[in-house]
């Protein structure tokens, strides 16, 4: 029986085409620059985001951390969203690895840090201040909203005026591009470096890309090596990454449409209220106190549907290549059955 896994888009499995590509991949020692498949992935990735160079890294967290380390100096300060992945979900890596202070700005419900607060967050040359060495943005934001291009542009103008680079956590960059109906490079033209995940909605089994200028990537490669990310015959994992980039990035509107369908159905169920960002493949919802979410998790599991537990009554379902309309109908029916019991 099929398992319907709604916990995240990180649960996607490589397609048959990806597995075949893995089997056939040309490989070499990537630290020597000899892995042709990885070189090709990096070339295609740089092109896709409109940057000079790119490098393959093991995960999104790795990519963000290596980017922060490469842009900043120990003891300096970076500006980032209070709810950003880099701040919340990367085990405090920016403090440990880069030794930077986090100047956090609370994002509004659209995932945007108010422009005025970014401006005032940039430190002056006052002898008491640390230097501001980086601004981090997240697009799509983890709250399900996509940052508009005008906003990216406005932040980039401030950053340029102060000669501060911008790093973009684009774990779901292609979801953002799909929503905005632009190529990924249109988003990335406002930033100095970007990290995007091949392993989420794009369905590759492993890996992320960090892209930036030649100079940035050559420094970042040294940092990648230092952090233990100098992998060898990476062609076997880069090969599905190429398919992820070239093919899977073009099918994300299906996941977005399915998420919309899911929200519409869920909203009709009494006790459920759809909330949060509705731009991509994330279905945020709140339940009222008549619903025991933990019991719902167990009930659905019995029916081969996997969901995460709630946080204070808030839950999140995620659509991806492994979730069809029928799966959503089955899940909705199962939730109704649960509420009947």
Closest contact distance (angstroms) between CB of 89 and ligand PLP is 7
- Any contact of residue 209 with ligand PLP (CB under 6 A)? no
* β partners of residue 54: 211
Q: Decide whether 57 or 335 has the Cβ nearer to ligand PLP.
A: 57
Minimum distance between the CB of residue 275 and ligand PLP, rounded to whole angstroms? 18
List binders of ligand PLP among 214-273 (CB under 6 A). none
Q: What's the min distance (Å) between Cβ of 171 and ligand PLP?
A: 3
Stretch that binds ligand PLP, among 47-55, 59-67, 185-193, 302-310 (CB under 6 A): 59-67
Tell me if 171 contacts ligand PLP by CB under 6 A. yes
Q: Binding pattern to ligand PLP, positions 128-167, x when CB under 6 A? A: ----------x---x-------------------------
Torsion of CA 281, 286, 290, 293, to 10 degrees: 50
**Which is nearer to ligand PLP, 122 or 134 (by Cβ)?**
134
Compose the 177-206 pattern: x for residues touching ligand PLP by CB under 6 A, - for all others: --------------------x-x-------
Residue 75: C-alpha distances to residues 96, 130, 132, 165, 260 (Å) = 11, 7, 10, 17, 44
- The window from 37-45, 53-61, 122-130, 255-263 that contacts ligand PLP (CB under 6 A) reads 53-61
- E strands of 121-268, at which residues? 132-138, 166-170, 193-197, 208-212
Q: Is 209 helix (H, G, I), strand (E, B) or coil?
A: strand
Asked whether 123 and 154 are in contact (CB, 8 A), the reply is: no
Please, what is the minimum distance in Å from the beta carbon of residue 94 to ligand PLP? 13
Collapsed DSSP state (helix, strand, coil) of residue 6: coil
270 pairs with which residues across the strands? none
Q: Is 49 in contact with 188 (CB distance < 8 Å)?
A: yes
> Does residue 169 bind ligand PLP (CB under 6 A)?
yes
Q: What single-letter DSSP state applies at residue 318?
A: E
Choosing from 59, 178, 234, 249, the residue that interacts with ligand PLP (CB under 6 A) is: 59
Which of the stretches 43-51, 55-63, 109-117, 153-161 binds ligand PLP when contact is defined by CB under 6 A?
A: 55-63
**DSSP class of 96:** I
Among 85, 145, 221, 224, binds ligand PLP (CB under 6 A): 85
Does residue number 168 form part of the binding site for ligand PLP (CB under 6 A)?
Answer: no
- 61 lines the binding site for ligand PLP (CB under 6 A): yes
CB neighbour list of residue 286: distance below 8 Å, 6 or more residues apart: 272, 273, 275, 313, 314, 315
- Residue number of the CB atom closest to ligand PLP: 60
Contacts 24+ apart (CB under 8 A), 38-43: 38/234, 38/235, 38/238, 40/238, 40/242, 41/209, 41/238, 41/239, 41/241, 41/242, 41/245, 42/209
Binding residues for ligand PLP, rule: CB under 6 A, are: 10, 59-61, 64, 85, 138, 142, 169, 171, 197, 199, 208
């Amino acid at each position: 029986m099929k398992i319907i896994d709604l916990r995240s888009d990180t649960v996607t499995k490589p397609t048959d085409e990806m597995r075949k590509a893995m089997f056939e991949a040309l490989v070499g020692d990537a630290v020597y620059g000899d892995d042709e498949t990885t070189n090709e992935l990096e070339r295609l990735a740089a092109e896709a985001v409109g940057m000079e160079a790119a490098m393959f890294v093991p995960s999104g967290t790795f990519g963000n951390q290596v980017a922060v380390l490469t842009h900043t100096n120990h003891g300096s300060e970076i500006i980032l969203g209070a709810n950003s992945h880099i701040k919340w979900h990367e085990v405090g890596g920016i403090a440990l690895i880069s030794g930077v202070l986090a100047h956090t700005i609370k994002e509004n419900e659209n995932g945007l840090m108010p422009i005025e607060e970014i401006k005032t967050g940039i430190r002056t040359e006052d002898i008491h201040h640390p230097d501001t060495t980086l601004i981090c943005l997240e697009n799509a934001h983890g709250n399900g909203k996509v940052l508009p291009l005008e906003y990216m542009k406005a932040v980039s103008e401030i950053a340029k005026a102060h000669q501060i680079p911008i790093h973009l956590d684009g774990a779901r960059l292609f979801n953002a591009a799909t929503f905005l109906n632009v190529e990924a490079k249109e988003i990335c033209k406002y930033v100095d470096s970007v990290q995007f995940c091949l392993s989420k909605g794009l369905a590759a089994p492993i890996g992320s890309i960090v892209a930036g200028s030649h100079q940035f990537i050559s420094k970042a490669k040294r940092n990648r090596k230092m952090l233990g990310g100098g992998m060898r015959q990476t062609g076997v994992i880069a090969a599905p990454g190429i398919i992820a980039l070239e093919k899977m990035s073009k099918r994300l509107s299906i996941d977005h449409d399915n998420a919309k369908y899911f929200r519409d159905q869920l909203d009709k169920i009494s006790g459920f209220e759809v909330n949060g960002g509705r731009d991509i493949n994330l279905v945020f919802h709140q339940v009222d106190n008549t619903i025991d979410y933990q019991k719902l998790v167990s009930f659905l599991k019995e029916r081969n549907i996997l969901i995460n537990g709630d946080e204070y009554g808030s839950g999140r379902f995620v659509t991806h290549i492994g979730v069809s309309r029928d799966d959503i109908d089955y899940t909705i029916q199962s939730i109704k059955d649960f509420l009947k019991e």
